[in-house]
Structure 1
Amino acid sequence: MGEGLRFELLGPLRAFGPEGEVPLGAPRQRAVLAVLLLQEGRPMTYAALVDAVWGERPPAHVRNLVQKYVSGLRRACAGAAPDGSGPELRWTGSGYVLSGAVIADLAERRALLARAVAARDGGDGGRALELAGRAEALWRGEFAEGLAGPFLAAERLRWAEKRLMVLEARLAGQLDLGRYHECVHELVRQVAEHPMRERLVWLLMLALYRSGQATEALVAFEDARRRIAEEMGSDPGPALRALHERMLRQDPALLPESVLAS
C-alpha cells in the first residue's frame, strides 16, 4: 500500500489518501470493500461475495450491482492514489482479489497488544496497561459500524468479544497493580452494560473486596446470581462461585500483602 491509501475498520469504515479522507460510495459498496479488505489478499468468489454482503436472498440484479460496486471501488482507489501506490482490486480465475491493502488501525492494534503482552510477561505491568489503553483508544465505535450483511454482522460480534477480552485483561492488570478504587467505577459500568459477563462480575467483586467493600462485593454476587437464574435458569459458573465462597470465609489470600501487613 505504501503511502497511497490506508483503511480503518475499528468504527465506521474510512479510507485516507495523501489528500485526506476518500469517499467510498454507497453503504453496499462500502460493505463490499469491508468484506474484501477482511480477506487480507485472499481471493473471494463471486458467489461468496454475494452471500457475504446480501445473504441468502440477494436482489435479482445482484450481478450488475457487484460489477457496479467493484468499478466504483477501483475508481476510488485510483483517484486517491494516482501514482499507483494504492491497492488493486482485480478479478482472477479464483475470484476477486484486493491486494496491497492494509487495515491500518487493526495492524496498529495488533502491534500495541503484542507489545503489551511482552511488557506484562517482562514484569512491567504499568507499561502493559499503557499500551493496552492505547489499543483501546483506537476504537471509534462498533467494528465496521453501520454496514449490513451477514459476514460483517458475524465479524462485528467476533470483534466485540475480542474487545471485551482485552478490556477484562486490562482491568485485571489494574487490580494486580493495586488500583482497586480506580477499577470499581468502570467495572460497575461494564457490568451494567454486560450483565451476563461473569468475568466482569468476578473482577468487580474482587475490586470491591480489596477496596474494603466486602458487603458490596457479596451483593454484586447475589445480583449476578439472580440475573443468571432469571435469564438462564442456572447458577453462576464455578469461578464466580469459588470467589464468593472464599469471600464468605474471609480467605486472607484474597487481600494483597500490603493490606494484610497494615
Structure 2
Amino acid sequence: MAEAVRGELLGPIRVLRGGRELPLGPPRQRAVLAVLLLREGRPITFEALVDAVWGEDVPGGVRNLVQKYVSGIRRALGEEAGPRWTGSGYVLTGLAIDDLGERRALLARAVAARNAGDPEHAEELAARAEALWRGEFAEGLDGPLLAAERRRWAEKRLLVLETRLESLVERGRYHECVHELMRQVAVHPLRERLVWLLMLALYRSGRSADALVTYEETRRRMARELGCDPGPELRALHQRMLRQDPSLAAELAPGRDAGHSPGLLPGSALAS
C-alpha cells in the first residue's frame, strides 16, 4: 500500500511521505512545485508558469529549464504524485496543500462555533489554525507569484490575529493578550487596529498612563513617517481615555456593532 504524500506551504515548502520529508531539489525547482501546488489541481500554461516563477527576468533556454525542473519534481515525488502535461498546461496530481486545507477547515469550524455562541471554542480552533504556520508562506522561494502570495497571506494572518486578540480583550483576558499586542505593535507600529486594541487592553487592565503613552508614540511616528495624524477611531479612543469615559468598559472595537459577537471575522474574510 502506497504511503500518503502530504504537501505543506504554510512555511518553507515541504512534501512528506509517511512522515519523512522528501528532498525537493534546488530553490527554483521548489518554486515551480509551489506554483503548481497553488493551482490546486487546475492546469497552468507554460507561459503562465514561466511568468509566475521568473517574471520579466526570463533566462535563456527557459523551456529546457522548466522541463528539467518538472522531471526533477517527478523523480522527487515518485509514482504517487507529480506534474503532467495536458492539452491546456501542466497539472499537479496526487499532491495538495494539506496544511492550508486543514487551516481552512479549522477556521470554518471556528466561525461555526462563534455563530453558535461559543467564543472560547472558536478561539481554541483559531489558535490551532494559527499553530499550523511554520514561517512565512512558501518562505525563501523567489518569483512574482509567490512574493504576491506571501504578502497576501501575511495580511490574512494579521486579520485573524487581530480578531483573536480582540476576542480576548472583549472577554476580559487583558493580561493574556497585552504582551502579544505589544509585540505585534512593535512589528507593525502603524497598524492602527493593533494600536487601538493595545490601548484598550492597557486601559482596562488599569494601565491608563501606558495606554496614553502608546497613543502619543503612535501619533509622533505617524507624523514623522506618514505626515498625518492617527485616524478618527484612534483619536476618539484617546479622547475618551482622557475623559475617563466609563462606557469604555464595554466598548467594541472599531467597525463592530453592538449585536456582533466578537472572536472572529466573518467567514468571507477568513477564506483563502
TM-score calculated relative to the size of structure 1: 0.91
The structure 2 residue matched to 1:107, chosen from 101, 121, 124, is 101
1:53 maps to 2:47: no
**Cα distance, 1:100 vs structure 2:** 3.4
Number of the residue aligned with 2:11: 11
Number of the residue aligned with 2:31: 31
The structure 1 residue matched to 2:158, chosen from 137, 152, 164, is 164
The structure 2 residue matched to 1:94, chosen from 83, 88, 95, is 88
1:175 maps to 2:191: no
**Cα distance, 1:3 vs structure 2:** 5.5
Q: Is the CA contact 1:41–1:100 (under 8 Å) kept in the aligned structure 2? A: no
1:190 maps to 2:184: yes
- Pairing 1:138-157 to 2, within 5 Å after superposition: 138-157=132-151
1:242 maps to 2:236: yes
* Cα distance in structure 1, aligned partners of 2:133 and 2:54: 26
What one-letter code is carried by the residue in structure 2 that aligns with 1:148?
A: D
Number of the residue aligned with 1:137: 131
Return 5+ residue gaps in structure 2 as ranges.
Answer: 252-272
1:128 maps to 2:122: yes
Number of the residue aligned with 1:66: 66
**Cα distance, 1:126 vs structure 2:** 1.2
**Cα distance, 1:122 vs structure 2:** 1.6
Q: Is the CA contact 1:45–1:95 (under 8 Å) kept in the aligned structure 2? A: yes
**Cα distance, 1:193 vs structure 2:** 0.8
What one-letter code is carried by the residue in structure 1 that aligns with 2:168?
A: Q
Range moving further from structure 2, 187-196 or 94-103: 94-103
Number of the residue aligned with 1:204: 198
Number of the residue aligned with 2:258: none
* Cα distance in structure 1, aligned partners of 2:16 and 2:203: 47
* Cα distance in structure 2, aligned partners of 1:193 and 1:220: 14
* Cα distance in structure 1, aligned partners of 2:47 and 2:231: 42
What one-letter code is carried by the residue in structure 1 that aligns with 2:36?
A: L
Number of the residue aligned with 1:75: 75
What one-letter code is carried by the residue in structure 1 that aligns with 2:232?
A: P
**Cα distance, 1:75 vs structure 2:** 1.7
Number of the residue aligned with 2:225: 231
What one-letter code is carried by the residue in structure 1 that aligns with 2:22?
A: V
Q: Please give the secondary structure, in 1, of the residue aligned with 2:146.
A: helix
Deviations 1:164-218 (A, max 9, x none): 1111011001112110111111111110011111111010000001001111111
Q: Is the CA contact 1:191–1:197 (under 8 Å) kept in the aligned structure 2? A: yes
* Cα distance in structure 1, aligned partners of 2:3 and 2:213: 54
**Cα distance, 1:248 vs structure 2:** 2.0
Query: Which stretches of structure 1, 4 residues or longer, exceed 4 Å deviation after superposition?
Result: none
* Cα distance in structure 1, aligned partners of 2:182 and 2:209: 15
What one-letter code is carried by the residue in structure 1 that aligns with 2:28?
A: R
**Cα distance, 1:90 vs structure 2:** 1.2
* Cα distance in structure 2, aligned partners of 1:202 and 1:141: 26
Q: Is the CA contact 1:31–1:149 (under 8 Å) kept in the aligned structure 2? A: yes
Deviations 1:26-52 (A, max 9, x none): 110000000110011111111111111
* Cα distance in structure 1, aligned partners of 2:168 and 2:216: 24
Range moving further from structure 2, 88-97 or 182-191: 88-97
Q: Is the CA contact 2:73–2:82 (under 8 Å) kept in the aligned structure 1? A: no
Deviations 1:91-137 (A, max 9, x none): 12211111332211101111111111111222211111111111111
Deviations 1:131-152 (A, max 9, x none): 1111111111111111111110
What one-letter code is carried by the residue in structure 1 that aligns with 2:46?
A: Y
Identity %: 71
Distance 1:108 1:3, change over 3 A: farther
Q: Please give the secondary structure, in 2, of the residue aligned with 1:255.
A: helix
The structure 1 residue matched to 2:111, chosen from 109, 117, 141, is 117
Q: Please give the secondary structure, in 2, of the residue aligned with 1:10.
A: coil
